A and B are shown apart, each in its own frame.
Chain A
Amino acid sequence: MTVQAWTFVIVGLTFALYMGIALWSKARSTGEFYVAGKGVHPVANGMATAADWMSAASFLGMAGLISFAGYDGSVYLMGWTGGYVLLALLLAPYLRKFGKFTVPDFVGDRYYSQTARIVAVFCAIFVSFTYVAGQMRGVGLVFSRFLEVDIHFGVMIGMGIVFMYAVLGGMKGITYTQVAQYCVLIFAYMVPAIFISIMMTGNPVPQLGMGMMETGSGTFLLDKLDDLHELLGFASYTDGSKGMFDVFCITAALMVGTAGLPHVIIRFYTVPRVRDARSSAGWALLFIAILYTAAPAVAVFARTNLIDTVANQEYASMPPWFGKWEQTGLITFDDKNGDGWIQYLGNPAANELTIDPDIMVLANPEIADLPAWVIGLVAAGGLAAALSTAAGLLLVVSSAISHDLLKRALMPTITEKGELIAARVSAAVAVLIAGYLGINPPDYVAATVAFAFGLAASSFFPAIIMGIFSKRMNREGAVAGMVTGISFTALYIIWFKFVDPASNVEANWLWGISPEGIGTVGMGINFLVALVVSRMTPRPPDEVVKMIEEIRLPRGSGEAHEISA
């Protein structure tokens, strides 16, 4: 069978599976719609969290990014896993004990303020939409490359699938679908990684293979890659070129941003007990770590293979995958000196080959000459990653609108049925907007990802942390902290990304911190402002202090969430 036939079969089978699960677990109450009846086993919840978290960016984008950035790519690896430690130790158990549905719920109740709640609602919606647009785009890319359909048609198919299980199934449908999607995506990621690891190093574990000697050459793979980079004039693979303080700040912003993302936090409301929330975070990180420790290995293999295949080779002798990706415009060859050979060099003036890092994971099995079914599997895995994340995000958007904005702020008398209808309608509208953004992406999608993390880091995280660990923190402090933290971060990013992109170079940055890392400073400002303001304004009321004391003890978590009948 051809690559295309395999892709049809594998993608078709996995989609049928997701649909079946969504229909089987249709939500009946609002409680089930938002948090799956709070009865999900921690291992299942860990898998669902992992699928929720690992988006098209993790599955398709990350290894490619690391492949081209080398050591500098470590910020994503440490940033997107280290956040789970913060989540497990500082947030998840307490938020589960608090026992309401959403992040704005916590912020609104803890700081006894509708203003704080509404600020949190808008942050949640903005952060989530930023992500969804990227996921829809990823779906469209996979479809258009492997099913050879138009990218618009690809996005529409994706919208239909997400609509089916997010809008009809709610959180319950999503949770079990995401468990299935995790299995598909991790299998799809590891199979080619293991194949290539055996081919290149003889070791079947990619995480170990990347530190081994290359089969037949007697040099370590990493040393060979460093030598190749030096030879071609690229920065050394294992040393990197970003400033140390910038690497520090980007890693911190990604970690804290991860711990503050509403669609990840909401998952910890779905387990039955506080101790399940703790272990659920552990399971989630374990499942995520399998992919995240394999990604740098995939990056090394792909980079070495790529350089071996293309550098200083005759253009006419390139394998078929090269031409196919050239057609998509993601590989371009410009024979500057007209000799018909590919000069792939670090010096931009002499370099003749441009490769989009996003294609590396999809192209990797073909570059390594793996069988056609593996390529189909990778396509199915990429779709699983994109769809699971999109569905989780859409749920956050719909719950923010129907629950936080309508029920808790604007229309407190709304019935449970009315709330459920409002949730479905807002999920449907969100799917349509996300689809529109996927078809007509604003060309700053990549830039807005930094925006989402920076916002989450500089707004939610300090507010939640201080809400749990400081009894003295009050409404005035939290609101002032969130507003100044967000404003500073947003203005810095907007300035360098949208207003004056030409000045976005290290010399102009504050203390050498790039817009990607500025959320760390924003977070610091948030903490500082909140502490100072809270000391100058009245203490929080007694019932709030009592609530904090209750949140700190696991016992009694069963009573806290009798919200829906």
Chain B
Amino acid sequence: MIDRRAYWTANIRYVTILLLVWFTVSFGFGILLVEPLNEIRLFGSGFKLGFWFAQQGSIYVFVLLILIYVRLMNRLDKRYGVSEDEDSAE
């Protein structure tokens, strides 16, 4: 018996956390906080930090977020026995 409710709750929790990060790096650091962050330079380079998040950093984080999501969900699928690998066992 698959515990659908628990699986779905865990899924929603992962998605919520990842989307909070998604919002923070783009809308937060790249737009709302861009001016204070622009006072800081990224590792002594020519990048103002807010500008860097808006044009570079947010995109790198987006890629990471999806990679993390894929790993978390594959593990979750296995734990709840809903992974597609189980299909053949039916």
A interface residues, Cβ below 8 angstroms from B:
66, 71, 73-74, 77-78, 81-82, 84-85, 88-90, 93, 207, 210-213, 220-223, 238-239, 244, 247-248, 251-252, 273-275, 278-279, 281-282, 285-286, 289, 292-293, 296, 549, 552-558
| B: contact size bracket | 35 or more
Q: Within the assembled complex, what's the spacing in Å between the Cα atoms of A360 and B9?
A: 49
Contact (Cβ within 8 A) A244 B32? yes
Instruction: Indicate which residue in A89, A554, A558 contacts B15 across the interface (CB closer than 8 Å).
Output: A89
CB-CB under 8 A from B51, the residues of chain A are 71, 74, 222, 238
Q: How far, in whole Å, are A549 and B82 apart by their CA atoms in the complex?
A: 13
The answer to whether A275 touches B66 (Cβ under 8 A) is: no
Residues 61-90 of chain B: 1 if any A CB is under 8 Å from the residue's CB, otherwise 0?
Answer: 011011101100110010001111011000
B24 to chain A, nearest CB (A): 12
**A to B CB contacts below 8 Å, 21 in the list:** A71-B51, A71-B55, A74-B54, A77-B55, A77-B58, A78-B30, A81-B59, A88-B69, A210-B46, A212-B45, A238-B38, A238-B48, A244-B31, A248-B27, A281-B66, A285-B62, A296-B55, A555-B2, A555-B77, A555-B83, A557-B84
A556 and B54 contact, Cβ closer than 8 Å, known pairs A222-B48, A278-B70: no
**Residue A554 contacts which of B18, B52, B54, B77 (CB distance < 8 angstroms)?**
B77
Given A211-B52, A247-B31, A554-B77, list of 4 further CB < 8 A pairs? A88-B70, A207-B56, A552-B4, A552-B8
B66 & A74 in contact (Cβ 8 Å cutoff): no
Whether the pair A289, B63 counts as a contact (CB closer than 8 A) is yes
Query: B4 contacts A90, CB within 8 Å?
Result: no
Q: Is the CB of A90 within 8 A of B15?
A: yes
Whether A74 contacts B67 by the Cβ 8 Å rule is no
User: Using an 8 Å CB-CB cutoff, how does the interface string of B28-52 with A read, 1 for contact, 0 for none?
Assistant: 0011101000100010011110011
The answer on a CB contact under 8 Å between A279 and B70 is yes
Q: What's the nearest-Cβ distance from chain A to residue B56, in Å?
A: 6
If A77-B54, A78-B59, A282-B70 touch, whether A554 touches B22 (CB-CB below 8 Å) is no
Chain B residues lying within 8 Å of A278, measured Cβ to Cβ, are 66, 69-70, 73
In the assembled complex, the CB of B2 is this many whole angstroms from the nearest CB of chain A, namely 7
B21 to chain A, nearest CB (A): 9
Interface of A is mostly: helix
Give the most central of A84, A88, A293: most B CB within 10 Å.
Answer: A88
**CA gap between A274 and B46 in the complex, in Å:** 42
Task: Report Cα–Cα, A247/B18, bound state, in Å.
Answer: 22
| A248/B31 in contact, CB under 8 A | yes
Closest Cβ of chain B to A410, distance in Å, is: 35
B4, A553: Cβ atoms under 8 Å? yes
Q: For the complex, give the distance between the alpha carbons of A296 and B65 in Å.
A: 22
Contacts of B45 in A (CB 8 A): 211-212, 220
Q: Which residues of A contact B19 (CB under 8 A)?
A: 85, 89
Leading 9 A-B pairs by shortest Cβ distance: A220-B46, A74-B54, A282-B66, A211-B45, A296-B55, A211-B47, A222-B46, A555-B82, A211-B46
- When the two chains form their complex, are residues A558 and B83 in contact, meaning their CB atoms are under 8 A apart? no
- A293→B59 contact, CB < 8 A: yes
Distance of A286 Cα from B63 Cα, bound (Å) = 6
Complex Cα–Cα for A88 and B66 (A)? 7
Q: CA–CA, A280 to B68, complex, Å?
A: 13
